[in-house]
Amino acid sequence: MKLYNTLTKTIDDFKTHEEGVVKMYTCGPTVYHYAHIGNLRTYMMEDVLEKYLRFVGYDVKRTMNITDVGHLTSDADTGEDKMVKGAKREHKTVMEIAKQYTDAFFKDCEELNIRKPDIIVPATSYVGKFIKVIKSLQEKGYAYVEGGNVYFDTSKSENYGQLAGLSDNKDDLKVGVRSDVDEDLNKKNKNDFVLWFTKSKFEDQELKWNSPWGTGYPGWHIECSCISLENLGEYLDLHCGGVDNIFPHHTNEIAQSEAYIGHKWCTQWFHVQHLNDLTGKMSKSKGEFLTVSVLKNKGYNPLAYRFFCLQSHYRKPLTFTYDSLDNSAQAYSKLYAKVSSLSTEGEVDNDKLNSFINSFKEAMDYDLNTAQAVTVLYDVLKSDANDVTKRAAINEIDSVLSLGLKDAKEETKKEVDEERINKLISERAEAKKNKDYAKADEIRKQLSEEGIILIDTPQGTTFKIQ
């Protein structure tokens, strides 16, 4: 298999340290709010990657953290802890919102058929281990204390900017050179980052721990290094995240992990491009963002969103619009219906089955081309193979794509009362005219729960049965 590697910037042969075993680490969510569908694009593509590695026979050991402390609103180690900000917003404790949004995240994953990683570690459960590693970095001369915080000294690390393709011009790396960024003047070098915060402006930091440097809390980057090293060992094969994680998060993870273990840490870096909306990158900090529940309330099947994402390559930015989701949702319903109508009687033609699986592998083996893999599903349906062979191929392919097509069955047709639906559509239009959007949304939701999806067009509202 070949996979693009952000570290080498080439499509490389996928190799592992131990034959047949993949040690895979995924940066988990910061649980101060719901995950938006952009975050979930990243988790879905990582899920496809994990399942495909298993499909071709690897034993995948996968770990993910849950960020419930230390991720500040600014990458320059300034700003507020996102968790503290989220807790204030909801008048709850940090631990309450951490639980609420961790549960919500895994519910979204379930709706999107994303498998739970084997090992999941909340950062707050590992603080003692972070302190041990920070102490060791300080003893080795990679960390310094300034203004009460412990910093990692990036000037000591070789190839600091390799992953992010940063300039190694030393002048660029000095503090105070750029006036456009909010810099922490305690740092010796511009890219130095906090391993442990003690002196900070966040007096209301709710979660704090004792440490050799005073009461405080860990920086964000140290959590992923420690959680990965502790659970997956010193040789990591695959590290994943969205492209915004490349710098500074993953760059800093490499610097501190390699300083701690004294050798190369992770060989392959997999990054998923962003989901954008028409205003740019979808992000939680913008305030308005789309979640799986929003899509469901509008009547979309979450798997139609999965289908929408798989139709495009993970290394290309993807723009979300309701029009394009509608197209995918319609295509998904048709695909599901076609698979459902396949008979389960007869004998599987193994030659044909193998040839379908080979086409699927060909697509996935070259940098996880899920769009091509979806085309293979259509090729199977169009082929002259008998129905059971088609079903067998689709079941196997869907063990990776997870579009809910495995053993798809035709649902019994619902009785539809068109008159009633049209009456509700008129009531909704009237509510919208009167700016009573709550009522309008309520009608949409009520119908969606019955499997009736409203489609707004310039010519008026129509509906479809899911």
Note whether 30 binds ligand AMP by CB under 6 A: yes
Whether the CB-CB separation of 363 and 372 falls below 8 Å is answered with yes
Taking the least distance from each CB to ligand AMP, the nearer of 14 and 43 is: 43
Note whether 252 binds ligand AMP by CB under 6 A: no
* Binding residues for ligand AMP, total number by CB under 6 A: 18
Of 22, 27, 335, 377, the one binding ligand AMP (CB under 6 A) is 27
Of 16, 42, 200, 311, the one binding ligand AMP (CB under 6 A) is 42
- Decide which of ligand AMP, Zn ion, none touches 224; Cβ closer than 5 to 8 Å per partner kind: Zn ion
Which window, 23-31, 35-43, 303-311, 380-388, contacts Zn ion (CB under 5 A)?
Answer: 23-31
Of 244, 387, 442, 450, the one binding ligand AMP (CB under 6 A) is 244
Which window, 220-228, 350-358, 417-425, 452-460, contacts Zn ion (CB under 5 A)?
Answer: 220-228
Taking the least distance from each CB to Zn ion, the nearer of 28 and 299 is: 28
3-state secondary structure of 78: coil
Chain positions 259 to 288 lying near ligand AMP, rule: CB under 6 A, are 272, 274-275, 281-283
CB-based closest residue to ligand AMP: 242
* Binding residues for Zn ion, total number by CB under 5 A: 2
Query: How far is Cα 450 from Cα 250, in angstroms, rounded to an integer?
Result: 45
Continuous segment of H or E residues that includes residue 25: strand 21-26
Angle between helices 370-382 and 350-365 (to 10 degrees): 160
Taking the least distance from each CB to ligand AMP, the nearer of 41 and 391 is: 41
The residue among 33, 202, 64 whose CA lies nearest residue 126 is 64
Taking the least distance from each CB to ligand AMP, the nearer of 101 and 332 is: 101
User: Whole-number minimum distance, CB 241 to ligand AMP, in Å?
Assistant: 4
User: Whole-number minimum distance, CB 314 to Zn ion, in Å?
Assistant: 18
Q: Give residues with Cβ within 8 angstroms of 419, minimum separation 6.
A: none
Of 241, 248, 299, 302, the one binding ligand AMP (CB under 6 A) is 241
Residue 385 Cα distances to 113, 339, 356, 376, angstroms: 28, 13, 10, 13
Helix/strand/coil (H/E/C) assignment for every residue in 319-382: ECCHHHHHHHHHHHHHHHHHHHCCCCCCCCCHHHHHHHHHHHHHHHHECCCHHHHHHHHHHHHH
Query: How far is Cα 402 from Cα 368, in angstroms, rounded to an integer?
Result: 15
Continuous segment of H or E residues that includes residue 113: none
Neighbours of 198 (CB within 10 A): 17
Of 7, 84, 224, 393, the one binding Zn ion (CB under 5 A) is 224
Query: How far is Cα 155 from Cα 144, in angstroms, rounded to an integer?
Result: 12
Query: How far is Cα 188 from Cα 447, in angstroms, rounded to an integer?
Result: 60
Residues that bind ligand AMP (CB under 6 A): 27, 29-30, 38-39, 41-42, 67, 241-242, 244-245, 272, 274-275, 281-283
Residues that bind Zn ion (CB under 5 A): 27, 224
